[in-house]
Amino acid sequence: MAEGFEFDIEGLEELERDLTKAIKRCPEQAKGTLNQLGREFKNSAKKKANSELKAHKREGKMKKKAIRSKWGTKVVDEGAGMTALVWNSARHFHLVENGHQLVRGGRVVGFVPGKHIMEKTRNDYKDIVPQRFEQMVDDILEEGGLD
């Protein structure tokens, strides 16, 4: 007949408390990290756009339509996940980004290739984003005493 054996585990309450604390901290930390990444991405895209586009002298109301002044960012909380949105709301940004036909006198005379500013910036951040989230997870675990 098999004999029963006893064992005693200590510290489970502390582990549970630390895990609960880390879980509660995670959404606000993720939102802060996404906000920071979104702002940095926006600034990087803005800098890239300013360096790649020709400067146009705009006056009066036209100044407000410039690509330079139409950048925005926000974090959208979708319940199970969050998304950082970065955009440019200039009416002609999609033409600069993706390219467009060159029309003179109602006739198509060529094609202006896109600058692909957002795509280039996204490629720059391909390695940065995973590192930032790994650092965020490490910080959450460290703050919760789980490192």
pLDDT on residue 16: 73
Domain that residue 83 falls in: 15-53+66-117+124-143
Using 50 as the pLDDT threshold, list the residues of the chain that sit under it: none
On whether residue 34 sits in a domain, the answer given is: yes
pLDDT on residue 54: 79
On whether residue 135 sits in a domain, the answer given is: yes
On whether residue 26 sits in a domain, the answer given is: yes
pLDDT on residue 10: 67
On whether residue 60 sits in a domain, the answer given is: no
Counting the structural domains of the chain, the total is 1
110 φ/ψ sector (left φ>0, alpha ψ -120 to 50, else beta):
left
On whether residue 93 sits in a domain, the answer given is: yes
Provide the residue type at 103 as one letter: V
pLDDT on residue 5: 65
The span from the CA of 59 to the CA of 61, in Å, is 6
**Exposure pattern of 55-74 as b/e (b: 16+ CB <10 Å)?**
eeeeeeeeeeeebbebbebe
Token representation of residue 30: 């993720």
pLDDT on residue 107: 96
On whether residue 77 sits in a domain, the answer given is: yes
On whether residue 8 sits in a domain, the answer given is: no
Terminal-to-terminal C-alpha distance of the chain? 43
